[in-house]
Amino acid sequence: MTALIIATVSQGLLWALMAIGVYITFRVLDIADLTVEGTFPLGAATCATLLTAGWQPIPAMLMACLAGCLAGVVTGLLTTKLKIPALLAGILTMIALYSVNLRIMGKANLPLLTQDTIFTLYSFGLDKATAQLAIGFIVVLLTAVVNYWFFGTEIGAAIRATGVNPHMIRANGINTDIMVVLGLLLSNGLVAVSGALVAQSNGFADVGMGVGTIVIGLASVIIGEVLFGTRSFKNCLISVILGSIVYRAVIAVVLQMGMPPNDLKLFTAILVAIALSMPLIQSRWRKFKKDRKAAN
């Protein structure tokens, strides 16, 4: 039981970086960015390939991050400079990344059996599960602190305002195109690091491991917001991280209850669809109740 909880929480933490990335595009920039479906395996592929080539885990992960940032910039330029709608721009990069990821790895699946990973190299004598939990916690804490600082700076505030009201921020002299590109860069960099962590945890990188990334990210964001609030930016960051953990817990529970693992993506999609339609359902329900009252 404890083992299951530790495993669930550490999975939640490793995926939380991805959820923060999705939060940055979906909530901060107000863009549904599908690039992440490609940058998650991109991060995994880059990291796994470099580890196999004898790199140390931390430099390998930094390269994975850089690759993710580049992918984000590509989507950003497609949507700002070439005026391709953001959703489509993300899809284009995502599809392109499928080929890129295959090229990086040279095959569809790259196992990490003998290589040192961040979890084995920095385990400090802890067993594998506890090491994952500890390292996951440290990485997430670091990411959260850096994000909190960054979005409080002038550039960070300008990115947030770009998502809320591009008219206002242009009228204040900010180039919104640059802010959109920066936001996508940061988001995809984080998602790639998440992919790199998950690959090291799973012991392999797979070209198909990005399928459903966006939906898992959205599920984490929405669960977090509903359960833990959205009062301030700090609150939102914490909510998203906890949301990612709760999502893993929900998955663990339904699997324990006997749901076939193949149905997980269907389950998650339905969960997110319901959550996203909540505002509409709520207002309909209120109107329905009011109308009934009026009719009586």
Partner 1 sequence: MLDIKHISKTFNPGTITEKVALTDVSLHLAPGEFVTVIGGNGAGKSTLMNSIAGTYPVDTGTITIDSTDITKWPEHKRAKFIGRVFQDPMMGTAANMMIEENLAIAARRGKTPTLRWSSSAKEREHYRELLSGLHLGLEDRLESHVGLLSGGQRQALTLLMATMAQPKLLLLDEHTAALDPKTAEKVLSLTKSIVERQHLTTLMITHNMRDALRLGTRLIMMYEGRIIVDVKEEQKKGLQVKDLLELFEKAAGSELTSDSLLLS
Secondary structure (3-state) at 258: coil
Token pair, residue 194, equals 């998440």
Instruction: Quote the least distance from Cβ 165 to partner 1, whole Å.
Output: 5
Residue number, 157 or 259, with CB nearest to partner 1: 157
Contact between 154 and partner 1 per CB under 8 A? yes
Binding residue for partner 1, selected from 99, 120, 165, 277, defined by CB under 8 A: 165
Instruction: Quote the least distance from Cβ 178 to partner 1, whole Å.
Output: 9
Radius of gyration of the chain (CA): 20
Token pair, residue 249, equals 């817990």
Instruction: Quote the least distance from Cβ 16 to partner 1, whole Å.
Output: 23
Cα(64)–Cα(51) distance, integer angstroms: 11
| Piece of 58-66, 132-140, 151-159, 266-274 that binds partner 1 (CB under 8 A) | 151-159
Cα(271)–Cα(263) distance, integer angstroms: 12
Contact between 24 and partner 1 per CB under 8 A? no
Half-sphere exposure in the Cβ direction for 175 (13 Å, CA)? 6
Three-state secondary structure along 17-73? HHHHHHHHHHHHCCCCCCCHHHHHHHHHHHHHHHHHCCCCHHHHHHHHHHHHHHHHH
Q: DSSP string spanning 113-144?
A: SSS--HHHHT-TT--HHHHHHHHHHHHHHHHH
Binding residue for partner 1, selected from 59, 106, 152, 203, defined by CB under 8 A: 152
Instruction: Quote the least distance from Cβ 3 to partner 1, whole Å.
Output: 41
How many residues touch partner 1 under the rule CB under 8 A: the total is 23
| Piece of 75-83, 92-100, 128-136, 161-169 that binds partner 1 (CB under 8 A) | 161-169
Binding residue for partner 1, selected from 21, 41, 57, 156, defined by CB under 8 A: 156
Instruction: Quote the least distance from Cβ 83 to partner 1, whole Å.
Output: 14
Phi, psi of 204 (to 5 degrees): -165, 160
Contact between 279 and partner 1 per CB under 8 A? no
Binding residue for partner 1, selected from 164, 273, 278, 281, defined by CB under 8 A: 164
Residues that bind partner 1 (CB under 8 A): 149-150, 152-158, 160-161, 164-165, 167-176
